A and B are shown apart, each in its own frame.
Chain A
Amino acid sequence: MLEVAVRHRLGAFTLDAAFEAPPGLCVLFGRSGSGKTSVINAVAGLMRPDEGRVQVGERVLGDTSQGIWLPPHKRRLGYIFQEGRLFPHLSVRQNLMYGRWFAGSLLPLDPVVEMLGLGPLLTRRPGALSGGEKQRVAIGRALLADPGLILADEPLAALDEARKREILPYFERLRDEARCPILYVSHSAAEVARLATTVVVLQDGRVVRQGTAAEVLSDPAVTPAGIRAVGAVLEVRVAAHHEDGLTELDAGGIPLYLPRVPQVVGAPLRIRIAAQEVILARERPEGLSALNILPGKVATIRAGEGPGTLVSLDTAAGRVLARVTRRSAETLGLVPGVDCFAVVKTVAIAREDVGTA
Chain B
Amino acid sequence: MDWLSPAEWEAVRLSLRVSFWATVAALPFGLFIAYALARWRFPGKQILNGLVHLPLILPPVVTGYLLLITLSPRAPVGAFLKSIGISFAFNWTGAALAAGIMGFPLMVRAMRLSIEAVDPKLEQAAATLGASRPWVFVTVTLPMVLPGVLAGAILGFAKAMGEFGATITFVSNIPGQTQTLPSAIYAFLQVPGGEASALRLVAVAVAVAMLALLLSEWISRRVAARVGGA
Within 8 A of A (CB), among B126-142: 126-132, 135, 139-140
Which one of B130, B226, B227, B230 contacts A102 once the chains associate, using CB atoms below 8 Å?
B130
B228 at the interface (CB under 8 A from A): yes
Within 8 A of B (CB), among A75-123: 75-79, 81, 83, 85, 87-89, 98-99, 102-103
CB neighbours (8 Å) of B132 from chain A are: 71, 73
B70 at the interface (CB under 8 A from A): no
Bound: A99/B130 CA distance, A: 6
Which one of B125, B140, B144, B230 contacts A79 once the chains associate, using CB atoms below 8 Å?
B125
CB distance from B135 to the nearest CB of A (A): 7
B6 at the interface (CB under 8 A from A): no
A145 at the interface (CB under 8 A from B): yes
Bound: A126/B128 CA distance, A: 19
B229, A127: Cβ atoms closer than 8 Å: yes
Q: How large is the interface on A (under 10, 10 to 19, 20 to 34, 35 or more residues)?
A: 20 to 34
Given known A-B contacts A85-B122, A127-B228, A127-B229, A145 and B130 have beta carbons under 8 A apart: yes
A125 at the interface (CB under 8 A from B): yes
CB neighbours (8 Å) of B226 from chain A are: 89
B230, A127: Cβ atoms closer than 8 Å: yes
CB neighbours (8 Å) of B130 from chain A are: 73, 76-77, 99, 102-103, 145
A319 at the interface (CB under 8 A from B): no
Chain A residue at minimum C-beta to C-beta distance from B139: A98
B143 at the interface (CB under 8 A from A): yes
Which one of B122, B124, B129, B144 contacts A145 once the chains associate, using CB atoms below 8 Å?
B129
CB neighbours (8 Å) of A89 from chain B are: 140, 143-144, 226-227
B128, A87: Cβ atoms closer than 8 Å: no
Chain A residue at minimum C-beta to C-beta distance from B130: A102
**Count of A-B contacts judged by CB separation below 8 Å:** 73
B121 at the interface (CB under 8 A from A): yes
A85, B125: Cβ atoms closer than 8 Å: yes
Interface of B, secondary structure class, is helix
Within 8 A of B (CB), among A281-335: none
Bound: A72/B131 CA distance, A: 9
A141 at the interface (CB under 8 A from B): yes
A44 at the interface (CB under 8 A from B): yes
CB neighbours (8 Å) of B144 from chain A are: 88-89
B129, A81: Cβ atoms closer than 8 Å: no
A87, B229: Cβ atoms closer than 8 Å: no
A128 at the interface (CB under 8 A from B): yes
A88, B228: Cβ atoms closer than 8 Å: yes
Bound: A102/B128 CA distance, A: 10
CB distance from B151 to the nearest CB of A (A): 17
A102, B129: Cβ atoms closer than 8 Å: yes
A158 at the interface (CB under 8 A from B): no
A60 at the interface (CB under 8 A from B): no
CB neighbours (8 Å) of A85 from chain B are: 121-122, 124-125
A46 at the interface (CB under 8 A from B): yes
Bound: A218/B130 CA distance, A: 40
CB neighbours (8 Å) of A87 from chain B are: 122, 125-126, 140
B129, A141: Cβ atoms closer than 8 Å: yes
Known pairs A46-B128, A142-B129. 10 more at Cβ < 8 A?
A: A73-B128, A73-B132, A75-B128, A79-B128, A81-B125, A88-B228, A98-B126, A99-B129, A128-B229, A151-B128
Can you list 24 A-B pairs, Cβ within 8 angstroms, ordered by A? A44-B128, A46-B128, A72-B128, A77-B130, A79-B125, A81-B121, A81-B125, A83-B121, A85-B122, A87-B122, A87-B126, A88-B228, A89-B140, A89-B144, A89-B226, A98-B126, A98-B129, A99-B130, A125-B229, A127-B228, A127-B229, A128-B230, A142-B129, A145-B130
